[in-house]
Chains A and B, each alone.
Chain A
Amino acid sequence: MAELRKTKQKIKEDAEQIVFNSLKTKRNANQFILLSGALLRRSGEMDIAKVLTDVFGEIRPSWMEDLIKNVPGLQTGILSDSDINILKAIRHRINDAIEVKVDMSFEPSEYFIDSVINIMKDVLKGANKGSYNVDLIVDVNVKEDFEPGAIFYVNGHVIDLRVRNKVINYLYSQDVVNRYL
Chain B
Amino acid sequence: MSLIDIYKQYFIDFVAKNKEVGFVEEINHPMVYVKGLPGASYSEIVYFESGCVGMVTGLNGRYVEVLSFTNEPVRSGEKVSRSGDSLRIPVGEGLLGQVITPLGTSMYQNKVITGIEEYRGIESKPLPINHRERINIPLETGVSIVDMLIPLGKGQRELVIGDGNIGKTTFVLQTILRQAQLGTVCIYTGIAKKKHSIKKIEQLFDRHGIRENTIIVGSASSDPIADIYLTPYTAMTIAEYFRDKGRDVLLILDDLSAHAKYYREISLISKKFPGRDSYPGDIFYIHARLLERAGNFNINGEVSSITCLPVASSIEGDITGYIQTNLMSITDGHIFFDSADFKAGKRPAINYFLSVTRVGRQTQTPIRWGVNRELSAFLALHNKTERFIHFGAEVNEGIKSTLDMGKKVDRLFNQGSEDIYCVDIQIVLFTLLWLGVLPEEKIQDYKVKMQKSYDKDEVFRKKVTDLINSSSDFNVLLGKVSAVHRDLISFIEGGSA
Contacts and interface: CB of A to CB of B under 8 A. Distances in A.
Interface in A81-115: 99, 101
A158 B38 contact: no
B15 interface: yes
A6 B47 CA distance: 51
A155 B22 CA distance: 8
A99 B23 CA distance: 11
Contacts of B36: 153, 155-156
Interface string A145-177: 000000001011110100000000000000000
A158 B20 contact: yes
Contacts, number: 25
A157 B20 contact: yes
Contacts of A101: 23
B21 interface: yes
Nearest to A155: B38
B19 A153 contact: no
A158 B15 contact: yes
Contacts of A156: 20-22, 35-39
Interface residues of B, number: 11
Q: Per DSSP, are chain A's interface residues mostly helix, strand or loop, or mixed?
A: strand
Nearest to B64: A156
A4 B284 CA distance: 61
A155 B39 CA distance: 11
Nearest to B37: A156
B134 to A, nearest CB: 51
B189 to A, nearest CB: 37
A153 B38 contact: no
A155 B38 CA distance: 7
Interface string B2-44: 0000000000000100011111000000000001111100000
Interface string B362-401: 0000000000000000000000000000000000000000
A168 to B, nearest CB: 12
Contacts of A153: 21, 23, 36
Contacts of B38: 155-157
Contacts of B37: 156
A175 B29 CA distance: 49
A5 to B, nearest CB: 33
B19 A157 contact: yes
A157 B20 CA distance: 4
A158 B18 CA distance: 9
Contacts of B35: 99, 156
B309 to A, nearest CB: 45
A160 B12 CA distance: 12
A156 B36 CA distance: 4
A32 B37 CA distance: 28
Nearest to B22: A156
A157 B37 CA distance: 7
Nearest to B39: A156
Contacts of A157: 19-21, 38
A155 B34 CA distance: 12
A160 B21 CA distance: 12
B84 to A, nearest CB: 14
Nearest to B34: A156
Interface in B334-354: none
A101 B38 CA distance: 15
Contacts of A160: 19
Nearest to A153: B21
B52 to A, nearest CB: 19
Nearest to B15: A158
Nearest to B82: A156
Interface in B35-60: 35-39
Nearest to B40: A156
Contacts of A158: 15, 19-21
Contacts of B21: 153, 156-158
Nearest to A96: B62
A153 B36 CA distance: 9
A102 B36 CA distance: 14
Interface string B193-228: 000000000000000000000000000000000000
Contacts of A99: 23, 35
A65 B181 CA distance: 84
Interface string A21-59: 000000000000000000000000000000000000000
A122 to B, nearest CB: 19
Nearest to B19: A158
Residue of A153, A155, A156, A158 ringed by the most chain B CB atoms within 10 A: A156
Interface in B146-204: none
Given A156-B21, A158-B19, A160-B19, 15 more contacts: A99-B23, A153-B21, A153-B36, A155-B38, A156-B22, A156-B35, A156-B36, A156-B37, A156-B39, A157-B19, A157-B21, A157-B38, A158-B15, A158-B20, A158-B21
Interface of B: 15, 19-23, 35-39
7 contacts: A99-B23, A153-B23, A155-B38, A156-B39, A157-B21, A157-B38, A158-B21
> Top 8 nearest A-B pairs by Cβ distance?
A156-B36, A156-B38, A158-B19, A156-B37, A158-B21, A156-B20, A153-B21, A156-B22
